[in-house]
A and B are shown apart, each in its own frame.
Chain A
Amino acid sequence: AQSVAQPEDQVNVAEGNPLTVKCTYSVSGNPYLFWYVQYPNRGLQFLLKYITGDNLVKGSYGFEAEFNKSQTSFHLKKPSALVSDSALYFCAVRDQAGTALIFGKGTTLSVSS
């Protein structure tokens, strides 16, 4: 069965500092990995995905994520955090044969000024 783990309920960083939001996954076969962001009372916005190719994936709003097959991880990163990055972040996975995304529990990112 597919699963996603986001070990941190909350991540706090100061504006201008680098941020990392962790994600590990379990899936049979090659994973399709995604990051989404959700602002209060809103739907999810797509940030980036890894399907194949370079392990470092660049996405929207300056975010990037690194696929690490040996560690089954897909951590979200940004070199310099902004207060406006404060939101709920979801990691998601599906396998090649699957259709719907399976989501982690979410990590709340709080960026202080």
Chain B
Amino acid sequence: GAVVSQHPSRVICKSGTSVKIECRSLDFQATTMFWYRQFPKQSLMLMATSNEGSKATYEQGVEKDKFLINHASLTLSTLTVTSAHPEDSSFYICSARGGTSGADTQYFGPGTRLTVL
């Protein structure tokens, strides 16, 4: 199967600082990556779609200046939460499309738990 990694798995930061989360597709090339946010015991909310070499497409209600997404290569996308506040605390999960089950399948990273104090 396809493997997607995320780093860090857990981060605690102070309010007002910025945090960068990396998402990598380890054994396949992903032209498209996705960023989701998940609140406790809730579903995944799509934040943005990231295409390699172009600007990300943000979902309605997601602040593009706060959640900066860069997809610089076919195996790496980053999400930077700028000037983080406690309400940004959440579980962030990335996903990449591709892998052995074909380009139709999205494979997910293990998630990053962000806690903003």
Q: What residues make up the interface of A, taking CB atoms closer than 8 Å to B? A: 32, 34, 36, 41-46, 49, 51, 90, 99-106
Contact A45 B108 (CB under 8 A): yes
Q: What residues make up the interface of B, taking CB atoms closer than 8 Å to A? A: 1, 4, 6, 32, 34, 41-44, 46, 49, 91, 93, 95, 97, 101, 104-111, 113
Closest CB in chain A relative to B102 CB, distance in Å: 8
Q: Is the interface of B mostly helix, strand, loop or mixed?
A: strand
Having A43-B110, A103-B44, one finds 20 other A-B pairs with CB under 8 Å, namely A32-B104, A41-B91, A42-B110, A42-B111, A43-B108, A44-B93, A46-B101, A46-B105, A46-B106, A46-B107, A51-B104, A100-B46, A100-B106, A101-B34, A101-B46, A101-B95, A101-B106, A102-B46, A105-B42, A106-B42
